[in-house]
C-alpha cells in the first residue's frame, strides 16, 4: 500500500533519515521500532507530508505522493495522529471530533448565507458520528468533558477517534502507548485491532513498548541510524543480533 523508496532527510549536514526503504502491506499493523534518534519520527513526518524529503520517493497504491501536503494526503485517506493542540483543550471531546472532517460546509460565506438549514443538518450528522466513534472507543461517558481534562491515555484514544471521523485507509500512530496505564493501553490496543479487522484500516505505528508491539504488530520494522536494519515478526526481531546490538549501543 505504501512504498518508501530510498528516502533521505537531512537537517543541514545531519542525516536523520539516511536511505530508508520499506513497504507497508495493505491490511497490516506494521510496527516501527528502533533506538532513540533512529529517524522514526522524521520518516513518519516525511511520509505524512509534514516534512519534504531531501531525496527519495513515497508511493501510495502506485501513486507518487512524495512531498504532498498533509491535507492532500488526508483526502486520500492517509492520516497521522497528532497531539490535541492547546487551543482545542477547552473544547469538549465531542466538539474535538466534530472539528475533524475537512470538507464541512459553513466554510464559505455562500454556505453561511444560503445553507443554514443544511449546516444544522450536517452538524447533527457530525455529532451522531462523533457519538458513534466514542461508543466504539468505549469512552461515551467523556463526550462532554473538556479535552484538556482528559488523562494521557484518554487523550490518545481521542487522537485515535479523530482518525475515525473520516474514511481513513492508513493511519500513522506516533507512540499511542507512551505513558498510558495498562488498562487504557488494552483499550487502545483493542480499538486498533478492531479498526484493523472490522474496518480494514492499515496501521503503521512507532512504539517503544515491546509487549504492545508484540500483541498488535506484524511485521515489525527496526530502524537504526536513519535506515532499516531488520524486519520480521516480533520474535525474529528480538532474536536478531544486529537489532540487539543497535539497542545496546545507545
Ligand atoms: P526517533 O523518532 O527514532 O527517536 P527522530 O526522527 O526524532 O528519531 O530523530 C532523528 C535524529 O534527527 C535525531 O538525532 C534528532 O535530533 C534529529 N532531528 C530531528 N528533527 C530535527 C530537526 N528539525 N532539526 C535538526 N535535527 C533534527
Could you report the per-residue pLDDT of 138-151, keeping only the tens digit for each?
999 999 999 999 99
Domains of the chain: total: 2
Indicate if the pLDDT at residue 10 is higher than 90.
yes
Q: How would residue 241 be classed by pLDDT, with cut points 50, 70 and 90?
A: very high
* Residue 195 belongs to some domain of the structure: yes
Distance of CA 40 to the CA centre of its chain: 13
Q: What is the pLDDT of residues 77-90, one digit of tens each?
A: 999 887 777 768 89
pTM of the model: 0.89
**Does the residue 49 lie in any domain?**
yes
Q: Which of 137, 165, 193 represents a domain boundary (last residue)?
A: 165
Q: What sign has the CA pseudo-torsion 35, 160, 75, 220?
A: positive
Residue percentage of the chain with pLDDT more than 90: 70
Of 130, 165, 200, which marks where a domain is finished? 165
The candidate with the shortest Cα–Cα distance to 66, out of 12, 5, 107, 116, is 5
Q: Are residues 67 and 183 in the same domain?
A: yes
Domain span at residue 102 reads 88-165
Whether 144 is covered by a domain: the verdict is: yes
pLDDT by residue (tens digit) across 105-133? 444 445 555 556 667 778 888 899 999 99
CB 98 within 8 A of CB 80: no
Q: Which residue among 7, 9, 39 is best mutated to probe the pocket of ligand 1, counting the most ligand atoms within 8 A of its Cβ?
A: 39
Residue 233 lies in a domain: yes
> Would you say residue 82 lies in a domain?
no
Same domain, 108 and 158: yes
- 42 in contact with ligand 1, CB cutoff 6 A: yes
For residue 83, is it within any domain? no
**Residue 21, domain member (yes or no):** yes
Would you say the CB of residue 40 lies under 6 angstroms from ligand 1?
Answer: yes
Q: ipTM surpassing 0.90, yes or no?
A: yes
Question: Does ligand 1 have an atom closer than 6 angstroms to the CB of 11?
Answer: yes
* Domain boundary, last residue among 165, 185, 209: 165
Decide: residue 144, CB within 10 A, 0-12 exposed, 13-18 middle, 19+ buried: exposed
Helices and strands, number each (H, E), in the chain: 10, 10
Amino acid at each position: 500500500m505504501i512504498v518508501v523508496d530510498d528516502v533521505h532527510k537531512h537537517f543541514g549536514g545531519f542525516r536523520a533519515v539516511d536511505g530508508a526503504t520499506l513497504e507497508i502491506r495493505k491490511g497490516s499493523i506494521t510496527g516501527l521500532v528502533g533506538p532513540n534518534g533512529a529517524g522514526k519520527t522524521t520518516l513518519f513526518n516525511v511520509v505524512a507530508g509534514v516534512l519534504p524529503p531531501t531525496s527519495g520517493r513515497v508511493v501510495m497504491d502506485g501513486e507518487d505522493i512524495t512531498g504532498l501536503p498533509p491535507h492532500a494526503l488526508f483526502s486520500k485517506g492517509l492520516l497521522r495522529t497528532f497531539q490535541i493542540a492547546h487551543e482545542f483543550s477547552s473544547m469538549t471531546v465531542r466538539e474535538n471530533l466534530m472539528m475533524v472532517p475537512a470538507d464541512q460546509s459553513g466554510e464559505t460565506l455562500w454556505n453561511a448565507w444560503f445553507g443554514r438549514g443544511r449546516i444544522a443538518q450536517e452538524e447533527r450528522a457530525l455529532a451522531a458520528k462523533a457519538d458513534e466513534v466514542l461508543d466504539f472507543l468505549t469512552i461515551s461517558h467523556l463526550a462532554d468533558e473538556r479535552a484538556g481534562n482528559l488523562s494521557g491515555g484518554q487523550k490518545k484514544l481521542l487522537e485515535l477517534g479523530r482518525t475515525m471521523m473520516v474514511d481513513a485507509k492508513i493511519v500513522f500512530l506516533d507512540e499511542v502507548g507512551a505513558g498510558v496505564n495498562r488498562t487504557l493501553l488494552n483499550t487502545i490496543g483493542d480499538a486498533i485491532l478492531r479498526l484493523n479487522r472490522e474496518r480494514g484500516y492499515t496501521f503503521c505505528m512507532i512504539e517503544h513498548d515491546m509487549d504492545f508491539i508484540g500483541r498488535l504488530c506484524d511485521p515489525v520494522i527496526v530502524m537504526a541510524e536513519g535506515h532499516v536494519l531488520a524486519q520480521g515478526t516480533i520474535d525474529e526481531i528480538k532474536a536478531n543480533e544486529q537489532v540487539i546490538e543497535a539497542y545496546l549501543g545507545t
